[in-house]
Amino acid sequence: MIERYTLPEMGRIFSDAHKYELWCQVETLVMEAHAAAGTIPADAVEPVRQAPPPTPEQVAEIEAVTQHDVIAFLTAWADNTTPREAAKWVHFGMTSSDLLDTALAKQLVEATDVLLAKADELVAVLRDHALEHRGTLRVGRTHGIHAEPDVWGHRVADFAFAMARSRDRLRRAREAVGVMAISGPVGTYSNIDPAVEDYVAEKLGLRPADVSTQVVLRDGIAEWVSTLAVIATVCEAIALEIRHGQRTEVRELWEPFGKGQKGSSAMPHKKNPILSERICGLARIVRAQIVPVMEGIPLWHERDISHSSTERIALPDAAIATDYLLHLTTRLMRGLVVDAERMRQNLESTNGLIYSSTVVSELIETGMSREDVYALVQAAAMRTWETGVAFRQTLREQAAEHGVELDEARLDEVCRPERFVSRLDRVFDRLKNLS
């Protein structure tokens, strides 16, 4: 992921320097387990533990010759070890995937914990915003067309619960990727005791794979990336709602717009929804990682490395972009400007058409058939669309033509926008308990 969208903490987790730190940690723990079992000399462990991790530059210089990153790492680390003789016990009984998959599991768990903290924050921000606007009337829209009265807090509550569910999926996905294996070539433990695997897993807070061949099967990693894609897409749903709300014709919502900010290089009046558009764009990047990672599940026999090149790109990009999306969506919601007055104006802009469903219900109760009622109300509504005459007036005219008497007082009562949202208390009561 490019630096523009990389936040420092997540960038560090996926840096080459941190990767080599994790590799050193895994190899050292394996040596500790071997030494405790008497498999290798006990005095070999401390010199290796004290050896500084090789720099990415050191490893890259050697890899240019070896064309093998793990061997390049082991050689560079051995060069940092005093006495160098101790380094011969590093990687004892292991194969490359033992190191790679175990360190990757730890790396993905670390990344997940960062994402979970940001998801918790966004859930709280969405919850509080929705509760703040539980009484902010607006028109609900279906197919982009005014439907019935609603409140802005109801729409945001839906996003809050969606993000909470997505966060909970990520908690489960953390377990799916926190799986390691140190089982040797083709995974039969032929050169390494299973007790070594158990020791390393416990120290790293991971779980040994139920079965591994030489690699850990990628279904867990595919689940993790898919979960990130859902999170990113929920962020996109929030951003898309705000983009629509900021359109000039709507003008109900405004992104935060700071002092000195510019909206257009040509038109000084512009306040564009750039944060929301950025969120919608980057969500595509996260979703794009699902298929290539999913295709890392089927490999040739016990192992090939067709998944490796894909994961070097897809996993950091998915995590870094999701991290940034959560950060940006939280910033967007914290600074969101809600124009309640404009929402009310838009609510009333169709001259009462948004009450057509209530009128249908009321007229059915007079004894008319649903078909006749629908035809009457639709005819009045179409006349309002065409002429701009208030719906109550066209409804009176249409009813008179059909010999139907309207109960004006009753219509006054049921055509209040507050009536339409009076049963939403149950939603906001649930929302109060969301954490």
Residue 371 lies in a domain: yes
- Alpha helices in 349-388, H assignment, sequence order: 356-364, 370-387
Report the pLDDT averaged over residues 23-43. 97
Q: Which of 287, 315, 344 is the last residue of a domain?
A: 344
Distance CA 70, CA 62 (A): 10
Same domain assignment for residues 362 and 321: no
Binned at pLDDT 50, 70 and 90, residue 367 comes out as confident
Is this prediction's pTM over 0.85? yes
Q: What is the pLDDT of residue 158?
A: 98
Q: How many domains does the chain have?
A: 3
- Residue 267's pLDDT band, with cuts at 50, 70 and 90, is confident
Same domain assignment for residues 34 and 68: yes
* Cα distance between residue 169 and residue 315, in whole Å: 17
Q: Which residue has the higher pLDDT, 368 or 100?
A: 100
What's residue 271's pLDDT?
85
Q: What pLDDT score does 285 carry?
A: 98
Q: Within 13 Å and on the Cβ side, how many CA atoms surround 121?
A: 17
And the tokens for 308? 């490796």
Give me the mean pLDDT over the 213-241 stretch. Answer: 97
Last residue of a domain, one of 34, 64, 92: 92
114 band by pLDDT with thresholds 50, 70 and 90? very high
pLDDT tier, 365 (very low <50, low <70, confident <90, very high otherwise): confident
Mean pLDDT of 343-348: 97
Instruction: Say if residue 363 is in the same domain as residue 251.
Output: no
Task: Give the C-alpha separation, 32 to 41, whole Å.
Answer: 10
pLDDT confidence of residue 322: 98
CB atoms within 10 A of CB 254: 17
pLDDT-derived band of residue 346, with 50, 70 and 90 as boundaries? very high
| Residue 386 dihedral angles phi and psi, to the nearest 5° | -80, -30
pLDDT in the model for residue 212: 87
Is 112 in the same domain as 60? no
The answer to whether residue 71 sits within a structural domain is yes
Do both 186 and 131 map to the same domain?
yes
**pLDDT (mean) for 346-368:** 93
- What is the distance between the alpha carbons of residues 317 and 14, in angstroms, rounded to a whole number? 9
431 in a domain, yes or no?
no
Angle among Cα 340, 345, 347 to the nearest 5 degrees reads 90
Q: Is 433 within a domain?
A: no
Residues in the chain: 435
**What mean pLDDT is reported for the chain?**
95
Determine the Cα–Cα distance for residues 15 and 110; give it in Å rounded to an integer: 13
Is residue 14 pLDDT above 80, yes or no?
A: yes
Tell me how far CA of residue 38 lies from CA of 32, 33, 191, in angstroms.
10, 9, 14
- 286 pLDDT exceeds 80? yes
Res 223 pLDDT > 80: yes
Which region among 2-6, 73-77, 104-108, 410-414 has the lowest average model confidence (pLDDT)? 410-414
Round to whole Å and give the CA distance between 138 and 140: 6
Q: What is the C-alpha separation between 189 and 178, in angstroms, rounded?
A: 20
Residues 296 and 360 both lie in one domain = no
335 plus 201 within the same structural domain? yes
Strand partners, 208: 180
The angle formed by the CA atoms of residues 63, 65 and 66, to the nearest 5 degrees, is 65
CA-based nearest residue to 182, from 212, 217, 219: 212
pLDDT at 366: 84
- How far CA 114 is from CA of 109, 110, 311, 322, in Å, comes to 9, 7, 19, 10
pLDDT at 110 exceeding the cut of 80: yes
Average pLDDT on 317-345 reads: 98
Q: Within this chain, do residues 81 and 102 fall inside the same structural domain, yes or no?
A: no
Helices (H) and strands (E) in the chain, counts: 19, 6
CA distances from 265 to 262, 270, 273, 281 (A): 7, 9, 15, 21
Shared-domain flag, residues 325 and 216? yes
428 in a domain, yes or no?
A: no
E strands, 86-243, in order = 137-142, 145-151, 179-180, 207-208
Does the pLDDT value for residue 269 go beyond 90?
Answer: no
Whether 66 and 75 have beta carbons less than 8 Å apart is answered as yes
Examine the pLDDT at 61 and tell me if it is beyond 80. yes
Q: Which of 127-141, 259-273, 327-341, 348-362 has the lowest mean pLDDT?
A: 259-273
CATH number at residue 205: 1.20.200.10
Phi, psi values for residue 338, rounded to 5°: -110, 120
* Token representation of residue 67: 């064309």
- 250, pLDDT greater than 90: yes
- The Cα–Cα gap between 167 and 325 comes to 14
Q: How far apart are the C-alpha atoms of 243 and 250, rounded to whole Å? A: 10
Active site residues: 143, 264
Q: What number is the average pLDDT over the span 222-242?
A: 98
Average pLDDT for 212-234 = 96
**pLDDT exceeds 80 at position 205:** yes
Judge if 176 and 222 occupy the same domain: yes
256-260, 273-277, 290-294, 395-399: the lowest-pLDDT one: 256-260
Per-residue pLDDT at 108: 98
Question: What contacts 362, CB < 8 A, 6 or more positions away?
Answer: 407, 410, 411, 414
Domain range holding 310?
Answer: 96-344
Indicate the pLDDT class of residue 261, thresholds 50, 70 and 90: confident
Max Cα distance, the chain (Å): 104
Query: What was the pLDDT predicted at 315?
Result: 98
pLDDT at 257: 78
At 158-173, the pLDDT tens digits run 999 999 999 999 999 9
pLDDT bin (cut points 50, 70, 90) of residue 20 is very high
Looking at the structure, tell me whether residues 80 and 228 fall in a common domain.
Answer: no
Q: CATH code at 9?
A: 1.10.275.10
Q: Are 310 and 225 in contact (CB under 8 A)?
A: no
Q: What is the DSSP string of 43-98?
A: GGHHHHHHSPPPPHHHHHHHHHHH--HHHHHHHHHHHT-SSGGGGGGTTTT--HHH
Domain membership of residue 435 (yes or no) is: no
- Alpha carbon 113 to its chain centroid, in Å, reads 13
pLDDT at 1 over 90: no
Question: In this structure, are residues 153 and 133 in contact, taking their beta carbons and an 8 Å threshold?
Answer: yes
User: Do 37 and 1 belong to one domain?
Assistant: yes
Q: Which residues are CB-contacts of 230 (< 8 A; sequence separation ≥ 6)?
A: 166, 169
